[in-house]
Amino acid sequence: MTEYEKFKQLIDKGSSLYIPQLSLDCVIFGFHQNQLKVLLLKMRTRHDWALPGGFIHQDETLEVAAARVLKERTGLDNIFLRQFHTFSALERSNPQQAMKDFAMEDLRIDQHHWLAQRFISVGFYALVDFTRVTPQLDELSEICTWYDLDSIPPLMLDHRQILDKALETLRVQLNYQPIGMSLMPELFTMPELQKLYETILGTPLDRRNFQRKILGYHILRRREERRTGVAHKAPYLYSFDIKRYQEALQEGLHKW
Partner DNA sequence: TCAAAAGTGTTGAGAGTACACCCATGA
Partner DNA sequence: TCATGGGTGTACTCTCAACACTTTTGA
Query: Which residues contact a second copy (rule: CB under 8 A)?
Result: 19-22, 56, 58-63, 83, 85-86, 88-90, 118, 120, 122
Interaction between residue 189 and DNA (CB under 7 A): yes
The number of beta carbons lying within 10 Å of the beta carbon of residue 27 is 24
Q: Which of 139, 154, 150, 149 is nearest to 48 (CA)?
A: 154
Interaction between residue 207 and DNA (CB under 7 A): yes
Nearer to a second copy, 41 or 81 (CB): 81
Give Cα 225 to chain centroid, integer Å.
32
Half-sphere exposure of 128 (CA within 13 A, CB side): 28
CB of 161 to a second copy, least distance (A): 13
Choose the one of a second copy, DNA, none that binds residue 207, judging by a C-beta under 5 to 8 angstroms depending on kind: DNA
Nearer to a second copy, 40 or 65 (CB): 65
Interaction between residue 112 and DNA (CB under 7 A): no
Q: d(Cα 149, Cα 256) in Å, to the nearest integer? A: 34
Give Cα 160 to chain centroid, integer Å.
13
CB of 21 to a second copy, least distance (A): 5
Interaction between residue 220 and DNA (CB under 7 A): no
* 145 contacts 135 by C-beta, under 8 angstroms: yes
* 87 contacts 163 by C-beta, under 8 angstroms: no
CB of 194 to DNA, least distance (A): 8
CB of 83 to a second copy, least distance (A): 6
Q: Using CB under 7 A, which of 83, 97, 177, 211 touches DNA?
A: 211
Interaction between residue 206 and DNA (CB under 7 A): yes
Cα-atom radius of gyration of the chain, to the nearest Å? 20
**Which residues sit opposite 221 in a β-bridge?**
239
Q: How does DSSP classify residue 188? A: E
Nearer to DNA, 83 or 189 (CB): 189
Interacting residue ranges for DNA, rule: CB under 7 A: 189-191, 206-209, 211-213, 216, 226, 228-236, 255
